[in-house]
Structure 1
């Protein structure tokens, strides 16, 4: 069995995202990860529909980044995203940012929870809640 290609979105680096050194500002990398997370959640059915009716929403709890290679204006990057669920209230949504030539530019690791918007508390078994709401777990988790 081969591993499935993770979800990815293409983004073009814009001039206003640069810092004084002429490469992408560190905070922008986090924005690129957020774009990929939201696109994946939307396509997997995790932003609206049943989750929204149940007043549940994904919340970012932690985000760390490892920078590998600089990005400059005009570069096009592919940003991947994959969810990984465990047994607790939180799960991971990790992204890799690749230059068009395949060079790894950054790795982003995020801890996410599924929040009950009325109680303002994380729910248990977020994977199960996504599944019950009809989200596409194969797309969300990058499973075959």
Structure 2
């Protein structure tokens, strides 16, 4: 199988790569030398960068922000986050990072992200994202079309409370 880097992967491609529960957004890449630490494995901070790259593509694909630089786009910030490292990554490994919404409220939503390589789960990242007005002074409601996408594409549900 030829793995396309930086291109959203289909559900079937994700399954073929050993990902049991495909996500609406999944991107592949390969570990670079510059991402290694002195122990010759991927530096922990690099995982955060990988997760962020996929989150940016995810919010764009779901219509939350077109450019992320437009003065009219809402600010999207992480309110809380938890990363769990499961297994180290090494030079030249292909990997896939996935992202999907698990729940949402009026102005915030929860994302679950996973990192896979060779059919093995290597790390997970769960976070709560909050939308703010472009000036950052107030909460920004999630548009109905985005809420509908969370439900129909991601299988997310409104959070209780």
Normalised to the residue count of structure 1, the TM-score between the two structures is: 0.78
Match of 2:155 in 1: 143
Match of 1:82 in 2: 100
SS in 2 for 1:98: strand
- Residue 140 of structure 1 deviates from its aligned partner by 8.6
Spell out, residue by residue over 1:83-119, the C-alpha distance to the aligned partner (whole angstroms, 9 max, x if none). 13333532112210000x2100000011101110225
- Residue 121 of structure 1 deviates from its aligned partner by 2.2
Aligned counterpart for 1:108 among listed residues 122, 125, 132: 125
Q: Where does the alignment leave 5 or more consecutive residues of structure 2 unmatched?
A: 1-19, 157-161
Q: Where does the alignment leave 5 or more consecutive residues of structure 1 unmatched?
A: none
Aligned counterpart for 1:70 among listed residues 88, 96, 103: 88
Residues 16/78 of structure 1: CA separation in 2 closer, same or farther (3 Å cut): same
SS in 2 for 1:8: strand
Normalised to the residue count of structure 2, the TM-score between the two structures is: 0.71
Provide the aligned length of Structure 1 versus Structure 2: 134
Residues 39/86 of structure 1: CA separation in 2 closer, same or farther (3 Å cut): closer
Spell out, residue by residue over 1:22-57, the C-alpha distance to the aligned partner (whole angstroms, 9 max, x if none). 1110011111110111111222222228xx575413
SS in 2 for 1:122: coil
The 8 Å contact of residues 102 and 155 in structure 2, kept in 1 or not, is answered as no
SS in 2 for 1:31: helix
CA distance in 2: counterparts of 1:5 and 1:97, whole angstroms: 12
